[in-house]
Structure 1
């Protein structure tokens, strides 16, 4: 597997060669989050595990801002946190994942604490960082990718994965990635959830009419960027087309970002991560649950479990 820059526009001169995950952070990271979620959830046990989840307290469809915070904190601790931070987050995530498991009527077997599934999710998260960098600064050589593969280990060990289970070289990562691709598919129910994530209308499930109204302006733009940053093989799984006109439009976006990104990076993007780490440590110091109070519904979230008051009011 290679890490190409999917653009015809010549990349600007890059920053110094990246050595850590923080060096891969760019402004595109603000727009390719759902694309990466689609990659993660295209593995059926992961996709159905999320789709059938009853953990309302961790659902973006019930608490979108909280979910954005906790996901951001997990990434921030992987990039900038201490071993103590990561141990605390690992324990909190494992507690939540205990509530994610397949039932008798589930189409596939899964467990939220499955190491095999968590390695795949961590591999996708590594791609999240690689993709946002290569779009703007171009492809990386194998020696640099070997260094970054090792640096990405906390993305996996931050959950229920041992260090030895993470690929130790770029070649090993590519081999494992390619071996997983034939296993990928998207169920129609999961596909529908991806659609509402990509255009931000999922916020309406939490906030009702207000949420749907807020999604109207950024939604189409975010959907385009999701399609643009999703690798072609995953775009095909979604049944999304990609025309020459789409590519030209994306090239124009990248041309602007290649001028903007060096100005605001690396300090601006890393500032968000530092704030996430500071918030996480403050919550621990105050004795607060770092992921918030655990709330589990008897009904899957997709079927209306844990529906919030604003959304119920909008539906009535």
Structure 2
């Protein structure tokens, strides 16, 4: 884990959702209780807990999370008017998602410290298996060598594309305007302050082939700016050492275990609505107030 990991989350989401069934599954989501467009802090917590448990949790922790994720994903499925067929619990789709999550760690590390050798990549590939088994992928379906991982990654690339509707959602994620859908004027104000820098880092940490699918350019000036940012982040990494960064994961795990002990749903209550989130379903009070003012 590095400080770059604080900036490349949306870039990784774009990679995951560039597989059309995954992208449309999220775009058409009616799971109000788990939407970052309605509960951004809650979604950040639950995603962080999934990653923390995959990396540092116990088998018991992972089993509980696996059941909770499967329950939520049961509510994610295509309908008659969906552009493509999908199921939230499709192991084939979840393998791709897990492969992208693995790259979340690889990309942030190599940007700061440089490339890894094949032996280390083999070890890390095997160690990354809980990222997949946590979403009900069988161990046998996860690549056990870096060469196998790279082969499967390359085989999937031709199937990737970004629909205009999904593209718009990526834009609002990358510039943080999605927070405004949950928090109204407060969220949009935060997006104006932090959105440009976060959007730049999303473009910067997105691999070139995905950047091309988004229609984003990358200039020599952009590259020079990125290298300046990385110099700062490398310094921060020596100050905020890996043990300090791991503290966030330990806090996520502690919160997860406390929720279990108190008998609370680890992902919160499941609330599914009729209208897709992207079409305005389940707007929260602050966002509704802003909408009324604009009408």
Q: Structure 2 residue aligned with 1:38, among 2, 14, 25? A: 14
Instruction: Determine the C-alpha separation between the residues in 1 that align with 2:76 and 2:121.
Output: 33
Instruction: Determine the C-alpha separation between the residues in 2 that align with 1:308 and 1:260.
Output: 37
Are residues 1:279 and 2:268 paired? no
3-state SS of 1:217 partner: helix
Partner of 1:223: 199
Cα distance, 1:274 vs structure 2: 0.2
3-state SS of 1:235 partner: helix
State the TM-score, normalizing by the size of structure 2.
0.98
Instruction: Determine the C-alpha separation between the residues in 2 that align with 1:144 and 1:65.
Output: 34
Instruction: Determine the C-alpha separation between the residues in 2 that align with 1:140 and 1:198.
Output: 28
Are residues 1:57 and 2:33 paired? yes
Cα-Cα RMSD: 0.5
In structure 2, stretches of 5+ residues that fail to align are none
Q: Structure 2 residue aligned with 1:209, among 185, 188, 212? A: 185
Q: Structure 1 residue aligned with 2:79, among 103, 106, 110? A: 103
Q: Structure 1 residue aligned with 2:112, among 125, 131, 136? A: 136
Cα distance, 1:255 vs structure 2: 1.3
Partner of 1:182: 158
Q: Structure 2 residue aligned with 1:257, among 221, 233, 237? A: 233
3-state SS of 2:79 partner: coil
Q: Structure 1 residue aligned with 2:60, among 63, 78, 84? A: 84
For each residue in 1:170-220, what CA deviation from the matched residue of structure 2 results, as whole angstroms up to 9, or x when unmatched? 000000000000000000000000000001000000111111011111110
In structure 1, stretches of 5+ residues that fail to align are 1-24
Segment drifting more, 142-151 vs 303-312: 303-312
Instruction: Determine the C-alpha separation between the residues in 2 that align with 1:90 and 1:242.
Output: 39
Structure having the larger proportion of residues in helix: 2
Cα distance, 1:292 vs structure 2: 0.3
Q: Structure 2 residue aligned with 1:309, among 285, 290, 293? A: 285
Instruction: Determine the C-alpha separation between the residues in 1 that align with 2:7 and 2:289.
Output: 31
After TM superposition, the runs of 4+ consecutive aligned structure 1 residues lying more than 3 A away are none
3-state SS of 2:184 partner: helix
Q: Structure 1 residue aligned with 2:69, among 93, 110, 113? A: 93
Instruction: Determine the C-alpha separation between the residues in 2 that align with 1:189 and 1:75.
Output: 28
Cα distance, 1:263 vs structure 2: 2.1
Cα distance, 1:262 vs structure 2: 2.2
Instruction: Determine the C-alpha separation between the residues in 2 that align with 1:215 and 1:81.
Output: 33
For each residue in 1:123-165, what CA deviation from the matched residue of structure 2 results, as whole angstroms up to 9, or x when unmatched? 0000000000000100000000000000000000011101110
Partner of 2:128: 152
3-state SS of 2:131 partner: helix
State the TM-score, normalizing by the size of structure 1.
0.92
Partner of 2:246: 270
| Pairing of 1:164-183 with structure 2 (within 5 A) | 164-183=140-159
